Structure 1
Amino acid sequence: MAAKKSKNLLWKIHQWIGLYVGIVIAALSLTGAVAVFIPEIDAFLERGYELKETGDSYVPMNGIISQVQLENPDFRVLGAMPPAKAADPLILDIFYDAGAKDSQRIQVFINPYTGTILGQKSHTDSLSNYLRQIHVRLMDSWWGRQLVGLAGIGLFILCITGLLIYGQFMKNQIFGAIRQKNLRILMADWHKMIGMAALLFNLMIAGTGAWLGLQPVLIKAFDIKAPNTFVRSEKISNPEIDIDQEYDFWKAVEIAKAQIPEFTPTQVIPSKNGTNTIEVKGDAGHLPFEPHISKLVLDKTSLEILDVYDIREQAFSDKFYYIQEGLHFGRFGGIFLKITYALLAITSGVLSITGFFIYLIRKKKTGEEKDLVKKTIFIYSISTIALIVFLGLIAVFIGYAYATMLMTPAVYIFLFCFISYQLYNYWKKENLSKETIHEKG
């Protein structure tokens, strides 16, 4: 009897979390399957900026910055991305602060051998920024990131309860066997098989996704200090002088390469607060850490080394802190690993859809009722895909800020209506059950 009650409780937990979190998991599944390819998408869209000819030496960065600022007087320089290969352009990252609606972050592509500006694009309104923002925070500027973190916890619980519910059942069924008795059993078998096949992957995605989503709240609640936060203690000059202080960009990059083995510089960020420093950030080796974590901090004037941070040489706590995003997005192992990630990412969406289908159809008797369930699932799925594509078009062709103005209220309106509807159905069911018991009594 106790075992039966325990199993019924697991069923209820699995069912309710699936109902309330499933639609979010399905959306994150789809966007995540595409988001793993953000670097490749950027490389494809920016292929027109590749250099046809290369030179022997680079133009000094100070002249390049002056030229870019002359053409963009209202923008401030955030940093620069040095070329990874000889044919790659130098990318200068600049920002225009005009409030949430009109602020713009622009990437300027430059021939480092001649100083010629090849073109520029909006990072804010780019496809890669849209894909990241919709997956990381559902494009919601309020609590979107936390909602995604809660969805990660929900997926983790679904995986564990699914294992406890179906693990015993799967022992008596050949793995991969799909029964064709009826549509509900067909979907149930697919649900079980996919859930078990992708269990470890979904547990990893759920755990890392929960941490990344809830990170701001957890850091504040438990006073967690982020590693790799070296700041020069003294102020060498005032911020106005620091911003205009010239420095040898290319020499700083070479010093960083020589100091950290297998180091690929990806960002060079000059200080703007008077500390007179340069941070050369990048990746050390092909390891599953988030990008731009290893770094070298130099004095802007003398290029004296002030701090070296090679993630490979840090304590386990640092590595654990920075491995979450790398594991979540498959940023190691090359393109074939990313393809595997994308295929496995879709499984959580398939589990949401099949689970929702099983829940809706289990008490349907007539063919008409079953057809209605199929239409409902189809409408939910197509509507979700259509919304993601529609918002992407708005973000890229009209502006990311306008897409968020639509998405932020839409997230909360949908969640409020969906949860209210489910609670109403539950209340109605409970009242009906009480009335039936009362009538029988």
Structure 2
Amino acid sequence: MQQPAWLAAAWAELGQREVAGSADNARIRAFFRDVGQPASLHDEVAWCAAFVGACLERAGLASTRSLMARSYLRWGANLDQGRFGAIAVLSRGSDPVAGHVGFLLGETDKHVVLLGGNQGDAVSVAAFPKARLLGLRWPSEATAEPVEKPDTPGSEALFARALAHVLEMEGGYSDDPFDPGGPTNLGITLKTYAEWKRVALTDANRATLKAELKRISPEAVRDIYLARYWTPANCAELAAPLAFFHFDAAVNHGVVGAMRLLQRAVGTDVDGEIGPNTRAAIARLAIEDALQRYAEVRRARYRALPHFWRFGRGWLARVDKTLARALVLDGGAPSGADTTPTAAKGADDMTESAAQTQPTAKWWGQSVTIWGALITGLSTVLPALGPAFGIDITSDLVREAGEGIVETVQAVGGLVGTLMTIYGRVRASQPLAQRSVQLKL
């Protein structure tokens, strides 16, 4: 039986295996490079899709260039039955986004046999339950020519700039009891750090790992962000301004969460994966329009979180600053904005629009918090101040309206005022400013 060229390329890599520890298998890193992903990615990054893509590219076919296994469900043409060398896409657990992909060698009543990468941390032949099979694909005319590879140097420079911004936003070490992420340094949680080191986080090693996290090296920080956020979020496939904003979202909302928010923003099906439909929806919008929509979706997401009362102001300020910097990358700024750049802390080459990142002060008379406090206070002293405002609460009025009228008015006023104060404090995002008021009599 004659085998397809891509399958021959796959057999040539049989036996390639991840290297234990911090070292990497250069052949596995080459799979990332061949599909346009940064060659600096480590071999612990899920690489089954990179392996399939590299074999296709080496055979002269265009791959999806994605590290998401399920991206191949939209690649080529669908097959109704198995075919030697077909691309087989499998589910993985209950996650609707995760999956596995490999080349079909054969099948039994209950299993499919695949030649694939990252199977037991190696390029190997393995059997998988047929119940996990999501689809079989075969090359079509659209996959006959490889796509142009992205500009790697430009992508690396953009990643460095986006990372500098994220590190500024994340800040240094913190261990806030209200933060569900727990101990965090430069945006990297203790759990993420342990996973990167390939060790289980236990009570026995928790203190040691926390100490290591506090002094984590810049190289480790870069590797973690590249492998866990920039690459899986497909940032390199997006225009620079959108990639910049999307990377920040991936760090703050999670990779799949950010993809879903982006899809809501551009008005396409929400499946947590950037595919042809999402790219087409993005292409239909001007970059500034896409960014503004994305920013608004992120704000809405933050406001729905239970800890918004504590972190909300910082979250919203982060969106504003990220948006301003992304718009500068696009060569423009929002209408009416001050485009004078100012140096950003921790990144000498980063610029921002001061008008976009600094909250605009508002008059105290526009503050819900202030009015709530005033109403609460006035309700308390209503009986004494009533006559001054033409409200004479006489004994006859009390008898007609009921003995509890004053207490009722005070209680209702106090409740309304208190609720206004709490609401205004939670939603506050701007400082107050004095304003002179002249009354013309």
In which range does the TM-score fall when normalised by the shorter chain? Answer: under 0.3
Greater relative contact order structure (CA < 8 Å, 6+ sep): 1
Higher helix content, 1 or 2: 1
Could you state the TM-score of these two structures normalised by the residue count of structure 2? 0.23
Larger Rg: 2
